[in-house]
Amino acid sequence: MKGTFRILFVDEVDSTNEYLKRVPFEDALFVVADRQTKGKGRRGKNWISERGKGLYLSGMFSLPPLPYRSLAGLSFAVATISVIRRYVDKAYLKWPNDVYVNGKKLCGILVEVLRDRLIVGIGVNVSYGRDELSHLDVPATSLLAEGVKVDRRVLAEELAERLVLYKRKLCTGNFCVSEFEKFCPMIGKTVKIIDGKKSPLARVLGIDREGALIVEFDDEEGRRVGRIFSADVSVRIL
Ligand code: BTN
């Protein structure tokens, strides 16, 4: 079933997420900008937002009845990868909600929950050259660098349609954790958990019903299971 939505295409904004905080509430309203002057990433980072080189899209929804906030990000990540896989079949999800190809970030997702609305922002590197991404703090790639040309308008419409569908799933209590795991090659692998001071190694066992990463540490303190929440750390696959 196709959901209904409206997409505004604008030339330039500070951030498409911020734009949707300023306008009156409208369920399933999306905005796509050619350029952002203050593109925002997660954990206070910037998001590279040069004119015409990326897809900078945000969508606004009513608040779903979420038992745990992180489940929205996981579901929207599944929506996003299901579109990106049409273009790059080796794309995968890196917990909590990044799309990667061959160890390089292609796409990031920023979910913000406000009093009266949920905003999901998606940044896809579309036509940046590898050299233009080489200064970023994580290795990054673009659809063009992976040999794929896309029309940003078509991609925006495909993403909006999937996001509406996955928002509906969230509202019916279908949190897509097992779907996420299918797209996430981290499961079963050893990862480095980077939380500023320490970077312990752990094996990923899965994702629990709260959206936390379940990991098994095995070090001088012995073998034990821990839960990792996305706000705290970044996880690198070894
Ligand atoms: C991340 O991986 O850190 C999340 C990046 C999210 C970037 C997108 S681009 C469209 C929307 N507007 C923003 O300012 N950020 C999101």
Cα of 136 to ligand 1 centre, how many Å?
14
Task: Please give the span between the terminal C-alpha atoms of the chain, in angstroms, as a whole number.
Answer: 40
What mean pLDDT is predicted for residues 3-12? 94
pLDDT at 175: 80
Backbone angles phi, psi at 86, to 5 degrees: -65, -25
Task: Provide the 8-state DSSP code for 86.
Answer: T
For the CA of 122, the closest atom of ligand 1 is 8
Cα of 76 to ligand 1 centre, how many Å?
13
Q: Which residue has the higher pLDDT, 65 or 53?
A: 53
CA-derived radius of gyration, the chain: 17
Q: Is 16 in the pocket of ligand 1 (CB under 6 A)?
A: yes
Residue 238 to residue 234: CA distance in whole angstroms: 13
Q: Is 30 in the pocket of ligand 1 (CB under 6 A)?
A: no
pLDDT at 118: 97
Tokens at 93, concatenated: 């999800």
For the CA of 38, the closest atom of ligand 1 is 14
Q: Is 15 in the pocket of ligand 1 (CB under 6 A)?
A: yes
Work out the pLDDT band at 236, boundaries 50, 70, 90: confident
Residue 178 to residue 75: CA distance in whole angstroms: 10
For the CA of 39, the closest atom of ligand 1 is 14
pTM: 0.94
Among the listed residues 15, 99, 74, the one whose alpha carbon sits nearest the alpha carbon of residue 206: 74
